Copies of this chain bind each other. A is one copy, B any other.
């Protein structure tokens, strides 16, 4: 049984997950498969790019943070998935060996008009490295079942 339902989230809700370390090997593995630009793949080539050295693919940072969010609360929530991503900003490179911390807050909530058993929660996530520098922000709507939805729907 899920611990968290739509009603458990409201503006003021906050959470923090991590730190979790991202390794050079997993950066290169992700980049090889999904985003083989030189700055994500090879130290020597990356040194000549605007990143000035190897940095994770932004999509890798997103996926890495998704896993932290899943482990942090989403796998314990009555999640019905997400309709998309509202916005991502990549502010600073994520470097091999960085330890990432994620801080989340609820921006807004709304009950579904068409389906009374569920609602949407818009979550904003800030991602920091071990020096406290913000490396990414992520704003995502999340669809969640209402508590006792079966009884009240």
- A residues near B (Cβ < 8 Å) are 30, 33-37, 39, 49-51, 57-60, 62-64, 66-67, 70, 74-75, 79-90
**Is there an interface contact between B87 and A84, defined as CB atoms closer than 8 Å?**
yes
In the complex, A61 Cα to B108 Cα: how many Å?
A: 26
CB-based contact A83/B89 at 8 Å: yes
Q: Which listed residue (B51, B62, B75, B88) contacts A37, Cβ 8 A?
A: B75
In the complex the two chains form, is B63's CB within 8 Å of A34's CB? yes
Q: Which of B39, B80, B90 makes the CB contact (< 8 A) with A84?
A: B90
Residues of B within 8 A of A62 (CB): 59, 62
Q: Which of A30, A39, A63, A83 has most chain B Cβ within 10 Å?
A: A63
Q: How far is the CA of A74 from the CA of B31 in the complex (A)?
A: 14
Quick one: given A36-B70, A37-B75, A70-B36, are A84 and B58 in contact (CB under 8 Å)?
A: yes
What's the Cα separation between A83 and B90 when bound, in Å?
5
A66 — which chain B residues lie within 8 A by C-beta?
Answer: 34-35, 57, 59
The list of the 3 closest CB pairs from A to B, nearest first, reads A34-B63, A85-B88, A84-B89
